[in-house]
Structure 1
């Protein structure tokens, strides 16, 4: 391993700044653990690319995603968390205290580490998708489907998540146009059957999305049939991308146990990883729920787990 000249030693190091990271910082601060939190490449996480959040308890009128993350950050700072810009770029969990490299230059030692690096939605890579993100384009039907009640929407994807989201949208929207690249779905048979049997889900097989249409908001989508090369425009108000998420866990490869998709494995009922004193919270270890409120809950768990660990070790 390259030389790791350590410039600082901390009690609890929190990596990531979405609901999980900030909630962990709030709890760890209140336990007098003096946490240091590095915000990562996208301070606030996925909520900063979400517009209206209406399903987080306590915001009776709803709240903009970025504003909600500002509120979380302010609360963590008021409790005494040391919140910093910076990206964790490498870790060394071979011996305690653990070492974490920030911005490829500075190394920090920590008695315990809370990983809250989240996950990133996979996108199709269309310029129109990026331009209209938050203005009719979304990667979360549960978050944003509500805004398209009584309207027509499109969804792209072929796995269980896409099937679940299509079914969720079918209860809110008049028609759900589902675009599938191949002649079959990857989803489990029971989910496929449900999709096919739902009258207001229209499945388009062998279909690629060419372009999302609209100036300021989504007005439609241009699709191409892979077999016939026929081009078609479908008028819709919303476009949902459900081709999966990628957990932000690359720097932990070789150190922490992961599933085949890269999600960190935690001991059920806890946030403990296979390395003692290293905890994981939020979407980096949760591919099932992926909600702000569940991420915040697991951030609370991680801080409590870290406090108990440090106490048992006589480090707090």
Structure 2
């Protein structure tokens, strides 16, 4: 039997934690399922200087604050890797690698992203034996040694500078011409002034060399096409991220060709009651502050969705009376006139029916569910089962004959 919650959040990074804070505060029974350390990739970040309210803070410390905040609102946490989901029913199912099963009316996908692999010879074989993707995690293991950093974005340059605190020398392989880096100008200036950092321009890595541990790298010059070898004991790859969404492959969730999830302003996916936030969604800015904003938005949207779902179930699907589900458009006079006429007619019939009004502007998914494209429209339901549809006319007598 699945353990039941109001809201399940897959992922415990800043987006997921922010969502859990809002979920817990809204008195939703909220569960965060997270496969690794709470905080996600932020937990591996040495220094954060652009999160509002913190002039300077480490990633782990900031995430501890997020975690404590969520716990203060009664949020539950489960450590486990989600391997499959079933979003086909009202109650969504989330399953973990160890066989745990959870259900909820709403799910927020906040599983983030992970380092992109180059899939070059030697990379996978020597991962953990000199090949690394996180300076904060692994830099100390290269005390007094030579390290190669691949990449020139913010992450590569900032992490590279951190590695210089331990390594004897850090050599950065850059695709571009001399002097051109992809990182911000402040980091670039600091890197150029760092005596322990060197740069090899117009170059990329072809292979990681070594038997049991990294012994060097094979480098290709993109302009000349020539290859050379450089001795080193460590290789840090910072060549971008990929979304951690493989477990959603057969879920019905719409994703782009890279695996990122498109959402609307409410963080809604193409599936009702399922939201996506943070680094696994299509977005412009991937930062802690924007992830937290995503989480807050999704949790508020999920809260309202759950409230509306519970209300719909109680007032419509479980109603003792037959229900006239009236779809209307508040901006169209005819729609409003018909609504008034329907109420008058129901009053004359001794309130035989229960009228439930649905504003199509704010309940688009409900309109889609009943395949209603224009207002006014009336679906007659009995215990949730559709009996018929009324012809919406302003002719009272003609309308009356349909009852």
TM bin, normalised by shorter chain, reads 0.7 to 0.9
Measured against aligned partners, the alpha-carbon deviations of 1:272-309 in whole angstroms (never above 9, x if no partner) come to 00001000111010453221111111011110110121
For 1:82 and 1:34, locate their aligned partners in 2 and report how far apart those are by CA, in whole Å: 8
Selected match of 2:13 from 3, 11, 18: 18
Measured against aligned partners, the alpha-carbon deviations of 1:179-235 in whole angstroms (never above 9, x if no partner) come to xxxxxxxxxxxxxxxxxxxxx986324654747xxxxxxxxx96523643323579x
Pair 1:33 & 2:35 matched: no
For 2:189 and 2:106, locate their aligned partners in 1 and report how far apart those are by CA, in whole Å: 44
Measured against aligned partners, the alpha-carbon deviations of 1:157-182 in whole angstroms (never above 9, x if no partner) come to 68xxx964377743543289xxxxxx
| Structure 1 residues 120-199: aligned runs within 5 Å | 120-123=114-117, 125=123, 127-130=129-132, 133-134=135-136, 135=139, 141-142=153-154, 145=157, 148=161, 154-155=172-173, 164-165=182-183, 169-174=187-192
Pair 1:306 & 2:302 matched: yes
Deviation (angstroms), 1:67: 2.4
Change (3 A) 1:201 1:107: same
Change (3 A) 1:71 1:59: same
Match of residue 70 from structure 2: 76
Change (3 A) 1:88 1:207: closer
With normalisation by structure 1, the TM-score equals: 0.72
Deviation (angstroms), 1:243: 2.2
With normalisation by structure 2, the TM-score equals: 0.58
Deviation (angstroms), 1:154: 2.2
Match of residue 179 from structure 1: none
Match of residue 91 from structure 2: 97
Selected match of 1:52 from 33, 47, 52: 47
* Structure 2 stretches lacking a partner, 5+ long: 140-146, 165-169, 210-215, 313-403
Change (3 A) 1:144 1:206: closer
| SS state at 1:89 partner | strand
Pair 1:106 & 2:100 matched: yes
For 2:304 and 2:191, locate their aligned partners in 1 and report how far apart those are by CA, in whole Å: 47
Residues matched between the structures, number: 271
| Structure 1 residues 236-275: aligned runs within 5 Å | 241-254=237-250, 255-267=252-264, 269-275=265-271
Match of residue 282 from structure 1: 278
For 1:36 and 1:293, locate their aligned partners in 2 and report how far apart those are by CA, in whole Å: 22
Contact 1:141 1:169 in 2 (8 A): no
Larger Rg: 2
Measured against aligned partners, the alpha-carbon deviations of 1:109-139 in whole angstroms (never above 9, x if no partner) come to 2100011000002245354342872239698
Cα-Cα RMSD: 3.6
Measured against aligned partners, the alpha-carbon deviations of 1:238-268 in whole angstroms (never above 9, x if no partner) come to x87442211011111131000110011112x
Change (3 A) 1:229 1:260: same
Contact 1:15 1:39 in 2 (8 A): yes
For 1:315 and 1:89, locate their aligned partners in 2 and report how far apart those are by CA, in whole Å: 32
For 1:138 and 1:231, locate their aligned partners in 2 and report how far apart those are by CA, in whole Å: 14
| SS state at 1:47 partner | helix
Contact 2:13 2:41 in 1 (8 A): yes
For 1:70 and 1:302, locate their aligned partners in 2 and report how far apart those are by CA, in whole Å: 21
For 1:279 and 1:132, locate their aligned partners in 2 and report how far apart those are by CA, in whole Å: 29
For 2:226 and 2:157, locate their aligned partners in 1 and report how far apart those are by CA, in whole Å: 32
For 1:40 and 1:144, locate their aligned partners in 2 and report how far apart those are by CA, in whole Å: 25
Q: Which structure exhibits the higher relative contact order, with contacts defined as CA atoms closer than 8 Å and separated by 6 or more residues?
A: 1
